[in-house]
Structure 1
């Protein structure tokens, strides 16, 4: 593990790591604070349903990934990535200034515009950051670097959401919120200034600004590389799965565990820390080799502990409903330790599942199309996350099956999807990637 953390000694890694960390942290402070304001303040002032406003907010943040990921990939392939990163981070500072005006004067439509722009900024940054790593690191560093990236992202999301909750409870909360988001945006820009220059490989690329045709073109190109295509489908499934569980956390805490706000934070912490730990151990488990041999382990763990969560919830069905529990009280209730362990282990196996896939895409995507392929990956991620929301609405609101049954269905679906994915990858393992004739053997490394 020492060599994994030794990457922090090098500017080629640490500058991008902290640029990414501050950005992910800031995204989640801003999004979560906006959701809290919409829930407790704006909905009543605007005379609109909380669920409508919150779903609109979620849509506005995800929509740019559909619209701009293909364009972002083209730009990241054509131009030098460090300069692009600095431009994107400077844009984040300006967006946070705009959002600050919205927060201070309670201009809610301006906050929605800012949220859309933050989503767009993230959509343009995505292809840059994941194409940067293979350009600046050795192949035997990629798994460890992605493990650290996923760990940092998980912790940034968690701490960002917690920070938003704390800031909104302070005196002069609006001022604190504006200062925090602006300072984090500035910190991300400063970190990006320490990134070394990257090589450019596709300077002569002609950018197609038609977002529809460019999206179709890169998806067609990706489909012509079947091994890489199904790896990306597999990584997008992780976002479907994770979004399904994390979105239900507040209701899970309130309706099933009868817990207060601190219990929501505990559940998010268990899942996030589990994902961080699973991400970190990937380097050791893979022995620094880029490949997909951890895939069956990740799939099995994600299914086993989702299904066990269903059964563990049935063991506490007799929990008294006339009390709101804090963390300490819940820990004394029989069966809750098993629930917490299930959530933690779901995170662990999620990290084991996703990190090798990211490293595989970065390593074996053709160098000339690497950023565009990562843009295609982001498009699929967004599709699967929207699919997660629709799926959850059908199970919970249309079929009225309840949260435990949702978790059980997810566990079974994951097992079936895992079998499908394993067979597809095994079938296409002899496909040769244009960037590396050894790509086909990576499946069995």
Structure 2
């Protein structure tokens, strides 16, 4: 099934489109961060780098709902082509910003890329059940999830090299335009879909449509529980990837190579977890193991915290070779791979279940609601973590990792109690009396 999907016209174009898009987003974000770090003062760099993350995530809160409505009201493949064509134009703007060294232009380009990603997210996940059978759905989600994390890793590495190695500007510009063009060309081969909700009107009030999407997602208990689970994974991942590099740098002395390797370990783990999910599911949408995956996430998080809690701050820089040959380095590497593997086994089947539970005429809007919830959880996790790290509270980073592990134990108990108890998801999709966004009372079948 895995090989068949990768070469199938029903899936391969979407796979490569998503891969190039995720690579590009993280390339631009990292390139901007490097320009900020090396071109502005140290005091201003931190807030600007944090602002860059917010600038990219913010459109998800406002535009995901519109993206879901647009996808349900149109041929998803056609909308994908128009979005990626617009993204190619954004790439030209980003290339100009890099060429002229304009941080402001890069911020504008990053916001535009965030907007395109927010509009595209309901399409890339909403279109999978249109082209894949139920038996292929978990594998399709696993591939998309794995490709996204590998592309994020490569984008981070490429962006770092761009900022640190003084690469020839014309090569960077060619790379930016080439990646944007590749993503657009991939959409030309995505098969068309029928319109899921003909006559659906796009809500112009972005804030109202976002709140409506979340409210309507809550009308189905199992969709809401599944959405909370996917969002919890993104919160845990975002907080982990903000804390672990700090811990490794401050308490072990990890250099640039070690910091990059952290992302490599996480990407490897997610890939292994996604593959394990496919093997366990065997053509089903299988969620029985999800709460236990959260328990393993907790174990690995707590172990990273315990491994580093007794260490003091160091000033020497440790190479990647020394890191991997040390007991503490090897322990953290194993913990990160295990954590990400458990995370993949937690999130992939839940998202496949959410897709399966969504009726065809509203699936993209359900995905949009999940995207909004993901963004809210990541923002909330980042704000809470930053507050606890502040000088006023000053909770040590290893303690925060242990606390996040304890929170995952609570999440495991919650999802063990609330998720459907069947071994495999075989229930029919939820149906509603009225279309989402149309107003009025809704009744769940």
TM-score range, shorter chain: over 0.9
Q: Does 1:280 align with 2:275?
A: yes
Counterpart-to-counterpart distance in 1, 2:350 and 2:22: 20
Aligned length: 429
TM-aligned CA distance change 1:426 to 1:143, over 3 Å: closer
Structure 2 SS opposite 1:155? helix
Structure 2 SS opposite 1:248? helix
Counterpart-to-counterpart distance in 1, 2:166 and 2:421: 60
C-alpha displacement of 1:288: 1.7
Equivalent in the alignment of 1:336: 329
8 Å Cα contact 2:357-2:428 kept in structure 1: no
Q: Does 1:423 align with 2:421?
A: no
- Summarize the alignment of residues 144-163 of structure 1 with structure 2, pairs less than 5 Å apart: 144-163=139-158
- Residue of structure 2 aligned with 1:57, choices 36, 52, 55: 52
Equivalent in the alignment of 1:440: none
- Residue of structure 2 aligned with 1:199, choices 194, 197, 200: 194
Structure 1 SS opposite 2:378? helix
Equivalent in the alignment of 1:376: 369
Equivalent in the alignment of 2:82: 87
8 Å Cα contact 1:306-1:410 kept in structure 2: yes
**TM-score (structure 2 length as normaliser):** 0.92
- Residue of structure 2 aligned with 1:243, choices 233, 238, 244: 238
Unpaired segments of 5 or more residues in structure 2? 433-445
- Summarize the alignment of residues 18-417 of structure 1 with structure 2, pairs less than 5 Å apart: 18-41=16-39, 43-44=40-41, 49-314=44-309, 317=311, 321-397=314-390, 398-417=392-411
Counterpart-to-counterpart distance in 2, 1:25 and 1:117: 16
8 Å Cα contact 1:81-1:197 kept in structure 2: yes
8 Å Cα contact 2:251-2:312 kept in structure 1: no
C-alpha displacement of 1:209: 1.4
Counterpart-to-counterpart distance in 1, 2:2 and 2:326: 40
Equivalent in the alignment of 2:12: 14
Counterpart-to-counterpart distance in 2, 1:169 and 1:226: 49
8 Å Cα contact 1:77-1:370 kept in structure 2: yes
Structure 1 SS opposite 2:414? helix
Unpaired segments of 5 or more residues in structure 1? 437-445
TM-aligned CA distance change 1:112 to 1:30, over 3 Å: same
C-alpha displacement of 1:253: 2.7
Counterpart-to-counterpart distance in 1, 2:140 and 2:428: 25
C-alpha displacement of 1:235: 0.5
- The farther-off stretch of 133-142 and 242-251 is 242-251
C-alpha displacement of 1:162: 0.6
TM-aligned CA distance change 1:170 to 1:310, over 3 Å: closer
C-alpha displacement of 1:433: 4.1
Counterpart-to-counterpart distance in 1, 2:421 and 2:268: 34
Equivalent in the alignment of 1:442: none
Cα RMSD for the two superposed structures: 2.0
- Residue of structure 1 aligned with 2:430, choices 428, 431, 434: 434
